[in-house]
Amino acid sequence: MKVAFRTFGCQMNMNDTEAMMGILSAAGHKIAGSEEEADAIIVNTCAVRGKSEDKLYGKLGQLKALKKKNGRLLVGVCGCVAEKNATELLTHKEVDFVFGTRSITKVDELLGRAESGERFIEMGDFIDELDSDTPRIRTSSHHAWITIIFGCDKFCSYCIVPYTRGREKSREMEDILSEARELAGRGYREITYLGQNVDSYGKDLDDGSSLANLIRKTSRIEGIERIWFLTSYPRDFSDELIDVIASSEKISRSIHLPVQSGSDRILKAMNRGYSREYYLDLIERVKTRIPDATLSTDIIIGFPGETEEEYVETVSLVKEIRFERINLAMYSPREGTISARKMADDVPQEVKTRRLNDLLALQKHINREENEKYLDRIIDVIGEGKIKGNGKIYGRTMNNKIVIYEAQPELIGKSVKIKVDRVSAGPLYGVITP
Ligand code: SAH
Ligand code: SF4
Ligand code: F3S
């Protein structure tokens, strides 16, 4: 069969899609270039906010139309919305099968069942089967995602992820390292270790495995030039990890530590397990031991009960830390979570919108000022992709800064030195210097 994939949500979903594509193509299927030519379409979904979920329902409308044209088209839904709304999804006529986040290794078998006319939900836990032997079709030929820990045990009060991804489960360290070595042997130069909580990595293995150890060992693999990891959890971000990052230039200088709010009362209601003071102290330790690190974060605006003063505390934290990047989101109640059950979504929409826009404007201002520090500097960049239509490519620095420069597409995946000659609130611009 020709199978097309549509993927929404985080990098873990992207990485899951890469594995499903690998498994299907190893089983003799083809990956379709477009939905029109496909015999089956698999939608890998995200449920983190109402808007993410809406994307699937919008898509289902389009698929209904496609099915009218091609009566034999099969549609499968997986990912976080599949976990959350399985039964409801199967009431949509255009959906043939639904499967959970821990059943993805079974995708070939599931497709076979759907082909024989069965409509079903598969929620089994086969996550142990996802390892270094799993075939994968990777999106990039120089940068690879590797999921090191599945699930999340934190239960932040607003978050659906622990319900859709299940309990934390770490992969064996040797298995991860052999995947990394194999990738390095095939010319991959960058690796991103993924998990909802990479700092919890190894805790369930009881064999001394930890993120710090894993990264230390990865940094010794020949050929690997850059090691990234996502996402960190402030309370579990260890001093040992800070030391490991400081000790090797191969490890990302961009550290993502989601703070969510600058107010102690809100942090408590979110069940984040740390205070503003703890977070500020952690950032201080990071900045002292890794002076060239830049920081990024996630913030939720308009959590239930957020007062103007509490919002202003978030603003002051943003001013104090001066993040390189902020993923800002308006609070969106998720069915089944603690905050959706026990707290009213009582911050009016126009207040949420104003707070969000004000914080976005502040962040833009900070970005512009911080970026000006790069002017005339020479920075190390690895090329990542073409920019349509103007002969330029974009690349990335170890601080996760996007840089745009003139270069042949052959330089994608290659390191270059760029002299920065122009900045914006977003990317930097420059020219290659020898
Ligand atoms: N494990 C990571 C990321 C989880 S989801 C962490 O702990 O940070 C990514 C981001 O989505 C979160 O950091 C949070 O800012 C946002 N998010 C999660 N649930 C949300 C909700 N119900 N409403 C709005 N934003 C939410
Ligand atoms: Fe969600 Fe919190 Fe887990 Fe992150 S740590 S995935 S925000 S429950
Ligand atoms: Fe979305 Fe699930 Fe990732 S909710 S952010 S796809 S873990």
The first and second tokens of residue 166, run together, are 């299940």
Residue among 5, 7, 13 whose CB has most ligand 3 atoms within 8 A, to mutate: 13
Closest CA to 292 of 399, 395, 215: 399
Instruction: With cut-offs at 50, 70 and 90, classify the pLDDT of residue 315.
Output: very high
CA 332 to centroid of ligand 1, rounded, Å: 10
Residue 259 beta carbon below 6 angstroms from any ligand 1 atom: no
Residue whose Cα lies nearest atom 2 of ligand 2: it is 156
Question: Which residues lie below 8 Å from residue 176, measured CB to CB, with a gap of 6+?
Answer: 132, 146, 148, 193, 214
Residue 329 beta carbon below 6 angstroms from any ligand 1 atom: yes
Ligand nearest to the CA of 232: 1
Kindly tell me if the per-residue pLDDT of 388 is higher than 90. Answer: no
* Percent of the chain with pLDDT strictly greater than 90: 98
Give the pLDDT of residue 116: 97
Closest CA to 428 of 404, 408, 407, 406: 404
Residue whose Cα lies nearest atom 8 of ligand 1: it is 258
Question: Which phi and psi (to 5°) does residue 358 adopt?
Answer: -65, -45
**What is the rounded CA–CA span in Å between residue 49 and residue 356?**
16
Residue 161 beta carbon below 6 angstroms from any ligand 1 atom: yes
Which residues does residue 2 pair with via DSSP β-bridges, in sequence order? 30
Which residues does residue 386 pair with via DSSP β-bridges, in sequence order? 393
Question: Which phi and psi (to 5°) does residue 335 adopt?
Answer: -45, 130
Residue 155 beta carbon below 6 angstroms from any ligand 2 atom: yes
Give the pLDDT of residue 434: 87
Kindly tell me if the per-residue pLDDT of 430 is higher than 90. Answer: yes
| Residue type (1 letter), 339 | S
Burial class of residue 263 (count of CB atoms within 10 Å of its CB; 0-12, 13-18, 19+): buried
Q: What is the pLDDT of residues 171-180, one digit of tens each?
A: 999 999 999 9
Ligand nearest to the CA of 273: 2
SS (H, E, C) the chain: CEEEEEECCCHHHHHHHHHHHHHHHHCCCEECCCCCCCCEEEEEECCCCHHHHHHHHHHHHHHHHHHHHCCCCEEEEEEHHHHHHHHHHHCCCCCCEEECCCCHHHHHHHHHHHHCCCCEEECCCCHHHCCCCCCCCCCCCCEEEEECEECCCCCCCCCCHHHHHCCCEECCHHHHHHHHHHHHHCCCCEEEEECCCHHHCCCCCCCCCCHHHHHHHHCCCCCCCEEEEECCCHHHCCHHHHHHHHHCCCECCEEECCCECCCHHHHHHCCCCCCHHHHHHHHHHHHHHCCCCEEEEEEEECCCCCCHHHHHHHHHHHHHHCCCEEEEEECCCCCCCHHHHHCCCCCCHHHHHHHHHHHHHHHHHHHHHHHHCCCCCEEEEEEEEECCCCCEEEEECCCCCEEEEECCHHHECCEEEEEEEEECCCCEEEEEEC
| Residue type (1 letter), 324 | E
The whole-chain average pLDDT of the chain stands at 97
CA 186 to centroid of ligand 1, rounded, Å: 34
Residue whose Cα lies nearest atom 1 of ligand 3: it is 46
**What is the rounded CA–CA span in Å between residue 23 and residue 405?**
37
What is the position in ligand 3's atom list of the atom closest to the CA of 164? 2
| Residue type (1 letter), 228 | W
Residue whose Cα lies nearest atom 6 of ligand 3: it is 46
Give the pLDDT of residue 69: 92
CA 43 to centroid of ligand 3, rounded, Å: 13
Residue whose Cα lies nearest atom 10 of ligand 1: it is 298
Residue whose Cα lies nearest atom 12 of ligand 1: it is 298
CA 259 to centroid of ligand 2, rounded, Å: 11
**What is the rounded CA–CA span in Å between residue 340 and residue 160?**
10
The first and second tokens of residue 134, run together, are 């799993």
| Residue type (1 letter), 133 | D
Q: Can you list the pairs that 239-244 forms with residues at least 24 positions away whose Cβ atoms lie under 8 Å?
A: 239/285, 240/210, 240/212, 241/199, 241/210, 241/211, 241/212, 241/215, 242/285, 242/286, 242/289, 242/290, 243/212, 243/289, 244/212, 244/215, 244/216, 244/219
What is the position in ligand 2's atom list of the atom closest to the CA of 165? 6
Residue 257 beta carbon below 6 angstroms from any ligand 1 atom: no
**What is the rounded CA–CA span in Å between residue 77 and residue 90?**
9
Residue 80 beta carbon below 6 angstroms from any ligand 3 atom: yes
Residue 412 beta carbon below 6 angstroms from any ligand 2 atom: no
Residue range 218-228: average pLDDT?
A: 97
Residue range 36-65: average pLDDT?
A: 96
CA 36 to centroid of ligand 1, rounded, Å: 34
Residue range 305-322: average pLDDT?
A: 98
Residue range 216-222: average pLDDT?
A: 97
CA 23 to centroid of ligand 1, rounded, Å: 30
Instruction: With cut-offs at 50, 70 and 90, classify the pLDDT of residue 53.
Output: very high
Q: What is the pLDDT of residues 325-379, one digit of tens each?
A: 999 999 999 999 999 999 999 999 999 999 999 999 999 999 999 999 999 999 9
Residue range 14-19: average pLDDT?
A: 98
CA 45 to centroid of ligand 2, rounded, Å: 17
Residue 420 beta carbon below 6 angstroms from any ligand 2 atom: no
Residue 156 beta carbon below 6 angstroms from any ligand 2 atom: yes
Is 100:76 a contact under the CB 8 Å cutoff?
A: no
Residue 300 beta carbon below 6 angstroms from any ligand 1 atom: yes
Residue 197 beta carbon below 6 angstroms from any ligand 2 atom: yes
Question: Which phi and psi (to 5°) does residue 419 adopt?
Answer: -95, 120
